[in-house]
Chains A and B, each alone.
Chain A
């Protein structure tokens, strides 16, 4: 009897080390029992025009459930501040496109972003020089006024500025506010988590002053890992950035940003990738797609012997971040900006909408 007892104790003791199985159990995200928190959604589109696939995506009931606001990053001021579209045929085309989207129930805004002829975005030094010129600011504001009848609002996307440009940024927003009223006006702000800002140029936005002029802030909680390889978003860092902005914004609503695109980290630099590009490249290179700790998929591959590491998001990783941002973490009035329509997993909107009340 005693030997049997001893043997059973030893046997059970040997097994008394638990080990992990394969599939995750979750308290957040698509796999959990908790629905995703419902938030006001905005989708950012790079450019003035959407293609047929993007148009189809916007027609889906699931997409309309997740977002009602669209931002076209369409307006690019020239050196003298003149903004388009100015070509009559372009205006006619855009008017028809935007009216079509409004019939689906969307509100549409134009975003003013600052690139140069090389296509390099956010040349902060050049933009700061332009902003310091009052005629430039006036021309930008006038250009916005001239096309205000096309849209429901405007967004100003001015990232990459030096910190000394804060006063000029506020002056531009002030002129824009006067020019486009009563249309909505919003500003993209960098994801600073401290004052002074932890980011280069993060102090170029006087959020306290801007809060009196704008209807909304979009906190650009994107590109967390750059320049090193890693996920585009860190959900905890994004919360801190929104809280920091909120501490200065008073009652002006804010959005947190969610990437729809991915990034390839290669020897020649970074490249944004879509979900379709990433999965196709992984298939071409027979690379195994793994999931990082945040649930973001990634894979490593070689091109002419040079290493690449590609990170992107899908419905699973997006659902995890959205689920982690419950109402106890971010109040219900914080919205979500989905950045980069057309780059997402095609099933994303359906899967998110299924889990959102």
Chain B
């Protein structure tokens, strides 16, 4: 095991440090991606504000258990540096997704009060952080992969049950925050020297839980 780690590290260093056939070069790439995000299990949420009901007041940051999966559709924008046409360093990025499809309402509880949540109102904002990766060109085709980190903010409408009614706060939203660990895999076709259209698949090693998410979609990249 120790030997294979050393070999892998040596290969990565060689890839990064060995001079390429062209001049050492850093190029900025910008990309827009869109597609589906699926989560196996929605995470527990916390109220973002006090929720007043005729029966009682639910405090801010109260924990609400959650259940069920969700599929979302959305888009993202991100930036990357490419070194020597091989090493990709994703920089910052942003993504936003909203639930699609039909879902049964979720019945949960917070501190003994019943809560009704609607998976169809689930949304997620991802703030993508830097990572590291590689790419390879083969004529008009390119393949790339990287590992990057981020922070996900997930929200859902939540209404507290009191007597015969339901009550929400001003925003009506409960939220959860989680670190993200994405493995991006792309297969691209060059449209011209500066544009590529890619098919992207991203298993999420951590997404509000271990191996809890997966995205698949298209990606349009600009840059050498």
Residues on A facing B (Cβ under 8 Å): 1, 5, 8-9, 12-13, 15-29, 31-32, 193, 224-225, 229-231, 234-240, 292-295, 298, 311, 320-321, 323-326, 329-330
Contacts and interface: CB of A to CB of B under 8 A. Distances in A.
A17 B108 CA distance: 23
Contacts of B98: 16-18
Interface string B102-118: 11111111011110101
A267 B17 CA distance: 87
A326 to B, nearest CB: 8
Contacts of A15: 73, 100-101
A18 B120 contact: yes
B164 A20 contact: no
Given A20-B120, A32-B67, A239 B111 contact: yes
A17 B113 contact: no
A27 B113 CA distance: 13
8 contacts: A16-B72, A18-B101, A19-B102, A24-B106, A26-B106, A240-B55, A294-B161, A311-B164
A26 to B, nearest CB: 4
Interface of B: 34, 53, 55-56, 58, 65-68, 70, 72-74, 98-109, 111-114, 116, 118-122, 159-166, 191, 197, 218, 220
A19 B98 CA distance: 11
Nearest to A22: B104
Contacts of B164: 225, 229-231, 292-294, 298, 311
Given A28-B108, A239-B111, A5 B218 contact: yes
A315 to B, nearest CB: 15
B162 A237 contact: yes
A235 B113 CA distance: 5
Top 10 A-B pairs ranked by shortest CB distance?
Answer: A236-B113, A18-B120, A239-B112, A18-B99, A324-B109, A230-B164, A237-B55, A27-B65, A293-B161, A26-B107
Contacts of A25: 67-68, 103-107, 119
B103 A18 contact: yes
Contacts of A292: 164
Nearest to B35: A12
Contacts, number: 150
Given A1-B197, A234-B162, A324 B112 contact: yes
A324 B161 CA distance: 12
A27 B66 contact: yes
Given A18-B102, A236-B111, 9 more contacts: A1-B197, A16-B98, A22-B104, A236-B160, A237-B56, A239-B112, A240-B55, A292-B164, A329-B109
B56 A27 contact: no
A292 B114 CA distance: 11
Contacts of A9: 34
B114 A293 contact: yes
A193 B162 CA distance: 15
Contacts of A225: 163-164
Contact of B55 (A5, A18, A234): A234
Nearest to B55: A237
Contacts of B106: 24-27
B76 to A, nearest CB: 13
A224 B67 contact: no
Contacts of A323: 109
Contacts of A239: 111-113
Contacts of B166: 293
A28 B114 contact: yes
B56 A240 contact: yes
A236 B55 contact: yes
A27 B104 CA distance: 13
A324 B112 CA distance: 5
A321 B112 CA distance: 8
B67 A18 contact: no
A17 B102 CA distance: 9
Contacts of A229: 164
Contacts of A234: 55, 113, 161-163
A231 B163 contact: yes
Nearest to A292: B164
Contact of B104 (A13, A24, A320, A324): A24
Contacts of B58: 236
A16 B112 contact: no
A229 B68 CA distance: 33
A292 B98 CA distance: 28
B100 A17 contact: yes
B100 A16 contact: yes
A28 B107 contact: yes
B112 A325 contact: yes
Contact of A21 (B65, B103, B111, B191): B103
B113 to A, nearest CB: 3
A120 to B, nearest CB: 26
A18 B107 contact: no
Give the residue among B58, B67, B102, B118 with the most A Cβ atoms within 10 A.
B67
A236 B218 contact: no
A41 to B, nearest CB: 18
B104 A21 contact: yes
Contacts of B116: 293
A235 B53 CA distance: 13
